[in-house]
Structure 1
């Protein structure tokens, strides 16, 4: 196994889109004296073994990937090596993902529109032991956490559901179909399906029936 040492911060990239990986390599390549990409994985399938073998200082990992998620990968890597430092990258400007990332043990949550210089600074901060968060999301998350704690939020917020997901789940409980929900909310069927996948994950269920049962069991809608 490679051991952690001095010199540029050693980084492993994990994303299921090769274009994103190559873009990050090019971006970080301009800062070779400060960071060095020592490996990458296209998708999460072999990522645990790659990360364990290379023992990078920082892992930059996508939040959502086909067949898996950066959150699941984060948990598996930390089970192997609790000292690992994992920063999740996402296009999702949703503080609920940020909360889930922190609960999973990630040391950071950044948006993919971050510039190269800022990303390197955040990597350096994460390597130094700081939890790094997108500034705008961090500000909103503080307000969200306070309102959730005082029960001033929407049904399901304590389970990590966004307001839209809560709305969709409420319609599911009344028996509405995906198409009917899409029509009611003026969104596409695919958007409804995307929200359903997120709802299932957050409620730890496998299907629509399980989600409705969880909503009733947990008293989400009173």
Structure 2
């Protein structure tokens, strides 16, 4: 077990759902001698102030939030304090999200299905200088990186699009509506909209038409 010379690992929680924050606090409560939650922020808007005021050892943050994403928040925090350690939590076991997390300087990418004792162990490892990555994802990421290097991957991978985002982008190029995409992929309209927001952000655009034009111009889809 990694221990801190100054006591337990001090953590600030950031998520746009208070229920998730309370769940994480409950998970960590019985490990208070090893990890202690010193603060929280519901949503990213107030997170920088909270983190600056409390100066935690680690910020444990959801990767997907309304408005400012966990990736954006991590980038901002690292810009202000390069030594700040950020661990991103996600329900998405997609290697592309892991790559994005590492690119913005995150010290870890863990899934929300993680057990409480494993979460504590990973936070201690990060505090000790290690990088925390879900073990199954780490194995797949090595293969993904090799395939990307050989150009053996899906369209848009090099632009950071996940496989599902690439699939949605291909339907957009053919002119399929959000409802049509949702029906084809058997997902909700809101899930499609969430993916579209991520696609726009990664391509640096703000609307559907420009996204399609960018995809065609950059040769993502012919």
Which interval holds the TM-score relative to the shorter structure? over 0.9
Give 5+ residue unaligned stretches, structure 2. none
Deviations 1:54-85 (A, max 9, x none): 11111100111122211011011111110000
**Structure 1 stretches of 4+ moved >6 Å:** none
TM-score normalised per structure 2: 0.93
1:134 matched residue in structure 2: 134
Deviations 1:189-214 (A, max 9, x none): 33322221221122121110121121
Give 5+ residue unaligned stretches, structure 1. none
- What secondary structure, in the 3-state scheme, does the structure 2 residue paired with 1:213 have? helix
1:5, distance to aligned residue in structure 2 (A) = 7.5
- Preserved contact between residue 12 and residue 39 of structure 2 (Cα < 8 Å): yes
Determine the C-alpha separation between the residues in 2 that align with 1:88 and 1:146: 24
Determine the C-alpha separation between the residues in 1 that align with 2:130 and 2:56: 17
Aligned residues: 219
Aligned alpha-carbon RMSD (Å): 1.6
Deviations 1:95-138 (A, max 9, x none): 11111100111000001111111111100100011111001111
2:178 matched residue in structure 1: 178
1:125 matched residue in structure 2: 125
Determine the C-alpha separation between the residues in 2 that align with 1:51 and 1:214: 37
- What secondary structure, in the 3-state scheme, does the structure 1 residue paired with 2:209 have? helix
Deviations 1:12-64 (A, max 9, x none): 11111111111111211111111111111111111011101111111100111
Determine the C-alpha separation between the residues in 1 that align with 2:181 and 2:18: 35
Determine the C-alpha separation between the residues in 2 that align with 1:58 and 1:191: 30
Deviations 1:149-198 (A, max 9, x none): 10001111111212222122122223232233334444443332222122
TM-score normalised per structure 1: 0.93
